[in-house]
């Protein structure tokens, strides 16, 4: 690691492994950009160790959508960050967010909105997905990138009776990977 190396923390919760797959794809995309490395952290491991996030150039937030919002575990992490908020310890870091749920819509947008407001409270610089919607024309398919038609961050959908070995599908994993790469590029430009 050189002095110029940028670090992006991907901090996520996943109850049953599906959002973890999405988080791993985001981290893979981050790491695909030269000079940027990803640090993948489960929220359960971070509540007592917020310094790891304070050292990063960017933080990507990931949570399944449970009851139309971030999971309780992710909200616990959000609330635990209030000390960092008070000192604006994450100010001017690059931020992004991703979520996964069972229904096509599933109220995922509310989860991303929660995350973006959270990032704004911390004075962070939010990076949207930057991708046109897929699967929205007669020629479209479930294989399309951004088949969920998200803009604020990355969305994925996992059938409720499918395991994380197959869900979310490859199109959502690739969408997450490209979002990670976009976040990494943004961090390089922002914190040059
Ligand atoms: C408590 C609970 C609440 C849920 N609420 C929603 C929801 O609001 N919308 C939806 O589409 N799916 C909902 N789901 C389904 C999960 O989002 C879906 O199974 C997801 O893949 C779980 O991700 P995980 O394996 O990372 O925990 C819910 C699941 C649980 C356990």
Name the residue ranges covered by the structural domains of the chain.
Answer: 6-190
Tell which one of 65, 108, 114, 157 to mutate to probe ligand 1, the residue whose CB is within 8 A of the most ligand atoms. 65
**DSSP character at residue 143:** T
The distance from CA 162 to its chain's CA centroid, rounded to whole angstroms, is: 21
Q: Is 42 in the pocket of ligand 1 (CB under 6 A)?
A: no
For 151-174, what is each residue's pLDDT tens digit?
999 999 999 999 999 999 999 999
- Tally the residues of the chain: 192
Global pTM exceeds 0.85: yes
Q: Is 68 in the pocket of ligand 1 (CB under 6 A)?
A: yes
pLDDT for res 1? 47
- Which atom number of ligand 1 is nearest to the Cα of residue 104? 11
The CATH number corresponding to 6-190 among 3.30.470.10, 3.90.1570.10, 3.40.50.360, 3.30.1490.190 equals 3.40.50.360
For 12-39, what is each residue's pLDDT tens digit?
999 999 999 999 999 999 999 999 999 9
What's the average model confidence in pLDDT over 45-58?
84
**Whole-number Å distance between alpha carbons of 129 and 22:** 14
CB atoms closer than 10 angstroms to residue 30: 30
18 alpha carbon to ligand 1 midpoint, in Å?
9
CA distance to 157, 162, 186, per residue, from 6 (Å): 30, 36, 11
């Amino acid at each position: 690691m050189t002095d110029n190396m940028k670090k992006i923390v991907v901090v996520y919760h996943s109850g049953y492994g599906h959002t973890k797959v999405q988080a791993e794809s985001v981290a893979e995309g981050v790491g695909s950009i030269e000079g940027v490395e990803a640090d993948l952290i489960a929220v359960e491991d971070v509540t007592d160790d917020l310094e790891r996030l304070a050292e990063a150039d960017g933080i990507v937030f990931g949570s399944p959508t449970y009851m139309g919002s971030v999971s309780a575990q992710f909200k616990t992490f959000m609330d635990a960050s209030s000390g960092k908020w008070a000192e604006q310890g994450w100010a001017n870091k690059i931020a992004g967010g991703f979520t996964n749920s069972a229904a096509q819509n599933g109220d995922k947008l509310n989860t991303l909105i929660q995350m973006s407001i959270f990032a704004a409270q911390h004075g962070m610089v939010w990076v949207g997905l930057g991708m046109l919607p897929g699967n929205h024309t007669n020629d479209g398919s479930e294989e399309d990138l951004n088949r969920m038609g998200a803009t604020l961050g990355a969305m994925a959908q996992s059938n409720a009776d499918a395991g994380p070995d197959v869900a979310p599908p490859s199109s959502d994993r690739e969408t997450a990977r490209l979002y990670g790469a976009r976040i990494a590029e943004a961090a390089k430009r922002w914190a040059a």
